[in-house]
Each structure stands twice: as structure tokens, then as C-alpha cells.
Structure 1
């Protein structure tokens, strides 16, 4: 946790504990029900696939976390000759909260923007636009926002948590 936690330090569903996944249940049930019950012209494949993609992303992250901890425990390719401490594991146990946030945002956007309901599975111009937006403005903003987090006020309230891990792993970021 940050040395002086600021506002919005905790996720809104933190009080739910291990039951935090319940926040996606209504959307996942609704999208599955709509996909099964509605006829082909009204089905929304993009809305239906949000939940399986989120599950895939969680599994993918868990595989990399497990591999990283295995390699750290093995100790052959470590940069720092220290093992992962239990405090670090506990501190970084909320790695899936950003996946829950992106899932909630995907469901909200797909329900509020009607043109986002029946998206095609593949469009080359969309892929190129995504690559250009990510390599241009997104990386630029990420760099400057990360530099801003190193300002003393923001660092002590939000970013010190990130730098308190000595043995880094994929979820340390």
C-alpha cells in the first residue's frame, strides 16, 4: 500500500473481498442469455465474447505470474539475488482488479453505444488504427503520466506501492 494513501487508492469493490467477481455476473448472464435466446439477426457476438476474453486474460496473467515466481524461486536468471517475500505477494494480490474494471467498461460501452454491439471480427483498418494510436499518443501519455507519478505528492500517495517490490514480476507494474 502507498505510504500516504490518497483518494481512489482502493477499488470500489474492495469491500467485497473474494466475491468481487460478482460485479460482472449480471452482464455476463445477460449477454449469455441474449446470445442464446435471441434469433440470429439480434444476437451480439461481441457482447457475448467479452466474458470469455476476460477469463482468457486472467488465465494468461496467472500463467505468467506462476512462471515468473517459478523462475525467481529457481534463481538462475534473477537480476537481484532476493526471493519474493510474502508481503510482496499479499501487496500484489489485486492484479485482477484492472481486468474487472476493463470488463465493466467493455460491458458499459457495448450497452451504451449501439454501434459497438455488432462489430466485425476482423478489420485491417481498425488494427492499423489501434497500432498507430497505441504507439503514438498512448505511449506518449503513459510516459508523461508515469513521470508525473514520481512527483513527491503523487509518489507518496499512489506510486510508492509500485516501487516497493524488490523482486519484480509481471504483476508488479
Structure 2
């Protein structure tokens, strides 16, 4: 986590109220789901918020498990313990979920055809699974690994937003 995050992911000035950013869309989707008739209800719009909450729970479970294993000490990569400053920098891990929520709500309202999607398509599940398990995981691994290279790591973690590393 960057010490000085860039734009679109710096929700710190809002404190605990940062979750209120999603409130207008959550209220709108709930209201439209309750008011519209059975044939006009849009199930995907109402499922965005539970989807985001499940991602938060999923992330928290993995973070807690990783910290437990690190504290346990049996599977450490480096013999050095975690410093409190690092834990403080990583406490805003849910900012990316807020950004995803805004993007999901806005794109769902803007993009044509999103309101007429079928609830389930087996061929879509297979295609998305192959895309995610193949190129996306490959790219994510190498991008993450590149960010831990000394040059990129120091630029990302210790420079102000829109940095210029030499």
C-alpha cells in the first residue's frame, strides 16, 4: 500500500464515512427494485451491493489468515517481523472495493444492454473462467512481481502521486 496513494483511491479524508459514497446508488437500486413491478425488476442492479460486501468479507478472511500465518512464524519468507507502520499503511485495503462499486454502478447505468442480460449462461461462465485463470492471473502475477522490484517498489511506496522516478 502506498504511503501517499494517488487520485481515485484516497478516501482517507472521509474517514469512516467513506462508505457513504455508495449510499446514493445503493438506495436507488433498492428503491427501484421495490417500486417496479415483477416484470420490470432488475436483479443485477440490486446484486451489486451484496457482491461488494461478499468481496469485502472474502478479502478480510484472506488478510486475517495471512497475518495469522505471519504472526505464527512457520511460513515466513523474510525473518523480519511486520512493522506497525506497514500495518497502518495497509489498513485501507477496502478502498479498491469502493472504487469498484462506483464503477459497477456507473457503468451499469451507462452501458447499453446491461439491463437485458440473462441471469445465467454456462458458456459465459466457461469463457470468463478461462480468461481469468489464464491471461489475467498470469498478468497479475508478473505485474505484482514487477512492483516488488527495487526501482518500482521505491517509486510506488515512497513518492507522491504522479511520481517521476529517475
Give the equivalent residue in structure 2 for 1:77: 75
Q: Name the CA distance, whole Å, in 1 between partners of 2:33 and 2:52.
A: 17
Runs of 4+ in 1 over 6 A off after TM superposition: none
1:108 aligned to which of 103, 106, 117:
106
Q: Say whether the 8 Å CA contact 1:46–1:118 is kept in structure 2.
A: no
1:68 aligned to which of 55, 66, 69:
66
Q: Name the CA distance, whole Å, in 1 between partners of 2:63 and 2:143.
A: 26
TM-score, scaled relative to structure 1: 0.75
Tell me how far 1:93 sits from its aligned partner: 1.0
Q: How many residues align?
A: 158
Question: CA distance change for structure 1 residues 91 and 113 in 2, over 3 Å: closer, same or farther?
Answer: same
Q: Say whether the 8 Å CA contact 1:35–1:44 is kept in structure 2.
A: yes
Unpaired runs of 5+ residues, structure 1, are: 162-173
Give the equivalent residue in structure 2 for 1:123: 121
Question: CA distance change for structure 1 residues 141 and 79 in 2, over 3 Å: closer, same or farther?
Answer: closer
Render the CA deviation track for 1:79-137: whole Å, top value 9, x for unaligned: 33333221111011111011111111111111112411243332111112213333454
Question: CA distance change for structure 1 residues 2 and 49 in 2, over 3 Å: closer, same or farther?
Answer: closer
Q: Name the CA distance, whole Å, in 2 between partners of 1:22 and 1:148.
A: 34
1:92 alignment partner, SS class: helix
2:31 aligned to which of 26, 30, 33:
33
2:55 aligned to which of 41, 57, 65:
57
Q: Say whether the 8 Å CA contact 2:19–2:98 is kept in structure 1.
A: yes
Q: Say whether the 8 Å CA contact 2:10–2:95 is kept in structure 1.
A: no
Question: CA distance change for structure 1 residues 82 and 66 in 2, over 3 Å: closer, same or farther?
Answer: same
TM-score, scaled relative to structure 2: 0.77
Tell me how far 1:24 sits from its aligned partner: 0.5
Tell me how far 1:155 sits from its aligned partner: 4.3
Give the equivalent residue in structure 2 for 1:86: 84
